[in-house]
Structure 1
């Protein structure tokens, strides 16, 4: 039986998202490990934030253990803290287990807290990242075991509002599923759904059609062996800059 303090499955991987004009630091509380880039070292505030949200989640799980164990969304109690209600909304967009979205939710909530002290910020909880950046970003996509691992760059323009990116490694021959959405928690829900369907044997065309129907998905990148499949208007290139990948025909 897992410890009550292990509130989600830790993702021991992350995309590389260099944020210009920033300092980086890590915050670790039990299995929560955040890699943060901000204008200044906000370790103390970030750690306070992590402790606060973890306490809220742990208390809810103690009182309502079914939330931890359910493989699909379930009704939550009116007394649930905001981060649990937010996680519930995220998982309902795909029907996956709510625990799958908690890592992204912590990245979102800590990122929101720190945004008052840093106009540009990246908070990564494993493969789930909260991003707010007035600078264009070049994100190296994780896909260990595939030829494209750490060699594929997603070029993101500057956005006025925050957004989330999540990479999920489902196994079953699928090296990574990366999704861009309105938040890290929502991106995590979509990535988990898409990856689990692929790993479970669902046809690629069926999964991509399903992803295209998700109005809150801004883009999808699948890396399966030496194949790269892209949905959405994304700009991808190799690290050496010699290969541009057309998102409309990438398969």
Structure 2
């Protein structure tokens, strides 16, 4: 696990930002902000904000337990909190259950809150990233044992942000996947949507021949702006993605 932590968590670290971690139960965020905007008060504020959002979601799941377990789009109760509405809406577009969007949604809601305090913000949650940047950024790609791992990166321009960059894998990590992709990376202005579509696209990949099929599926979802699918020695890409050496 230490190897995986070093591999994916450092791939998005930026030298001009201060990165810090906040862990509340299952929510484990790596947060990058401009150096002059970092303070212990910011860390405490983020911790309290995450606790508040988690409390809303946990209280809702208590009343609607199927929200947590279903693997298909879910009809919400009328008074569902905003975070559940966001997750369910993204999952509906992707054809998966709401929890497929949970990591990306937390990255997004925290990112949108923190961006009011820092012009540059990168929030990473289990390989799912919310990014708002005033300068070009490079995000490395980890794809397990694929030869592409640690060799390529995404170049992101400021006008693409705010942007969600979400990764699903059937061979790396603990997230549920019915596929065998080494990495499915989805780009979308909505980090929630990018997370849900990454899961759905990843489910389609059983062998190297499936990478184009998964990319074509991602391209068909309204709101998705880019996709990369990696399995072994095969890579397929579509949309607003610029792949550069890492």
TM-score range (shorter-chain normalised) is 0.7 to 0.9
Equivalents in 2 of 1:144, 1:200: separation in Å?
A: 15
Q: Decide whether the 8 Å contact of 1:18 with 1:137 is kept in 2.
A: no
1:170 aligned partner: 170
Equivalents in 1 of 2:124, 2:213: separation in Å?
A: 30
Q: Decide whether the 8 Å contact of 1:14 with 1:142 is kept in 2.
A: no
2:112 aligned partner: 112
1:149 to 1:83, Cα distance in 2 relative to 1, 3 A: same
* Greater mean alpha carbon deviation, residues 215-224 or residues 100-109: 215-224
Equivalents in 2 of 1:209, 1:130: separation in Å?
A: 23
1:96 aligned partner: 96
Where in structure 1 are there 5+ consecutive unaligned residues? 1-10, 240-251
Are 2:96 and 1:84 aligned? no
Where in structure 2 are there 5+ consecutive unaligned residues? 172-178
1:33 aligned partner: 28
Shift of 1:191: 0.6
Equivalents in 2 of 1:164, 1:202: separation in Å?
A: 26
Paired residue secondary structure (1:111)? helix
1:49 to 1:226, Cα distance in 2 relative to 1, 3 A: same
Where does 1:39-188 land on structure 2 (aligned, <5 Å)? 39=34, 40-41=38-39, 42-159=42-159, 161-171=161-171, 173-188=180-195
Equivalents in 2 of 1:238, 1:162: separation in Å?
A: 23
Paired residue secondary structure (2:205)? helix
Paired residue secondary structure (1:112)? helix
Q: What is the CA RMSD across the aligned residues, in angstroms?
A: 2.1
Q: Decide whether the 8 Å contact of 2:211 with 2:236 is kept in 1.
A: no
1:202 to 1:58, Cα distance in 2 relative to 1, 3 A: farther
Equivalents in 1 of 2:233, 2:210: separation in Å?
A: 17
Equivalents in 2 of 1:65, 1:200: separation in Å?
A: 34
Where does 1:12-31 land on structure 2 (aligned, <5 Å)? 13-14=8-9, 16-19=11-14, 21-31=16-26
- TM-score w.r.t. length of structure 2: 0.86
1:62 to 1:163, Cα distance in 2 relative to 1, 3 A: same
Please list the CA deviations of residues 64-112 of structure 1 after superposition, one character each: whole Å capped at 9, or x if unmatched: 1011111111110121110000111110111101111011111111111
Kindly tell me the number of residue pairs found equivalent between the two proteins. Answer: 229
Paired residue secondary structure (2:94)? coil
